Structure formats: C-alpha cells, structure tokens
Amino acid sequence: MSIASSLTSLAERFKASPKMPLVFLGHGSPMNAIEDTAYSRSWVELGRSLPRPQAIVMISAHWMTQGSTLVDVSAAPRTIHDFYGFPDELYQLHYPAKGAPELAKQVASMLADYKVQTDDSWGLDHGAWSLLHHLYPAADVPVFQLSIDITKDLNWQLGIGKALAKLRERGVLIIGSGNVVHNLGALQFNGKAHDWALEFDSVFADKLNQRDFAGLANTKALGSLLRMANPSLEHYAPALTIAGAASAKDQLVYTSEGIDLGAVSMRSFMFHA
C-alpha cells in the first residue's frame, strides 16, 4: 500500500478531528503505576484534560529493536511485566485495552521510508501501561506500540516523528515514554540530584524551548554530558520522536519536572495547537 492510499484509508476509518496534542512523559520507576506520587497525580490530571483520542500510538523506551522498527498489530495487546524484584501488586496489574490492528498496519505503510514492519508478539510494556493506567484507567481507548530501532541515530527518531504527525488530525494521540536523563548506574537513594543530571535536564529544556530539535539530536555536540545523562539512548529517543512530530505553531507546556533518585529526569512535556 502506498503512503497516499494508506492516508486515504486512515481518513475513511478515523474521522477528522481538531489537532491532537503530542505528549512525552518521563515514566520513571514502575512503582509510579501503583503509588500516589506527584508524577502519577500529574498523569491522572493530564488524562482528564486531554481531548478524547480515537486511538493511541505509544513509543516506549522499553521496546527496543535492532535493524528494524516494528509496529504492534495485535488485536488484544498483552500486558508485559518487564521488570524484576517489585511487589506482587505490580505484577497483578493488567491493562486490557484493545489494539488497533488496521491503524497499526496503515502506520507501517506511512513509515515505509523507515522500513517499518508489523509484529504481533509484543503488546504493552511497562513504559506504556504504567502511564495509560493513570491516563485512561478504563482502558477504553485502542492503543498500540511502535518500537525504537536502537541502531539508528536520533535524527532518524526525529524523522519518524515528522512522518507520524499526520495522525494528529485523525484523532490519534502520540505519546512518547522514557526519561530525558536516565542513568540507573548513578542512582542516589538520598534523593540528591547529580549536578550533571540537573545540567543536562536544563540543556534539554533550553533547546526544546528554542525548538532546536537538531541540537537535541546532535550527540557529538552534546558530548560527554549526554553520555553521562544517558549511557544508552533508548529512554531519550522517545522525546525526539515527539519533538519531530511538532509543528512551528504548536505551544509547548511542561506537565512535570524534577530529578528522581538523583539520576532520572521526570521532565514531561506536551505540544498542542
């Protein structure tokens, strides 16, 4: 199916809508799914304030692929408990939302230039359901995930975001889930934030405010500060996908900020028309 025909099919199935926002959420610890925290409360509040989507595309840091980008086309995505050593209550939590197989297949066609392939073996990892549990607790909005090809650079992630942007006018909410700073090897349980974590979080916000998305993707220029803040880039990449889908006319709003456990940025933001 060509990109043009996939968009026609999309228009037939998903009604035109006011332009949907773009959301990036710092998800942090899986415990935010079951604990009453400032972050979980902000997700509940956000869910109440967002326009009702017809479907949700999630780009989560926890679905990493190598050499290809995959889109989940399962009709009933399973809840994946992809963590260890947490309370039993967390493993009992399930998010029984339906998938959106036809839309997911059309998204694969829209992203043909990025060699996106379909997959029905994934589901919803905790980067997705730990947020959706608060945003849409009734699990009554169809949702599917798009993977992150960790062999590609950050400009690739920006490009995927740009290609996804047309979904916004068909009632599809695009959510990125990760953390702007994510260095689990440097956690501090006394809560004191590392200077480099604060610095990178500030640099990120400055460049985002300036719409310097190319600067956010320039790993060479960001240098050792980026490497300290993100020893690997899978938690950072979803923020670039969301930025890539933004338009020049969008307004930028931060929905939460803060450094958790010394080395995890909970900065979250939204672009809206």
Backbone angles phi, psi at 74, to 5 degrees: -70, 145
Q: What is the pLDDT of residues 141-179, one digit of tens each?
A: 999 999 999 999 999 999 999 999 999 999 999 999 999
Judging by DSSP bridges, how do beta strands 55-60 and 172-178 pair with one another?
Answer: parallel
Q: What is the pTM of this model?
A: 0.93
Residue 235 structure tokens? 């938690």
Residue-wise pLDDT for 1-55, tens only, equals 444 444 455 545 556 668 999 999 999 999 999 999 999 999 999 999 999 999 9
C-alpha closest to that of 99 among 78, 116, 82, 129: 78
The tens digit of pLDDT for each residue in 224-235 reads 999 999 999 999
Residue 13 has a pLDDT of: 56
Reported in sequence order, the residue ranges of the chain that DSSP labels E, i.e. its strands, are 22-26, 55-60, 64-65, 70-72, 117-119, 143-145, 148-149, 172-178, 251-256, 259-260, 264-265, 268-272
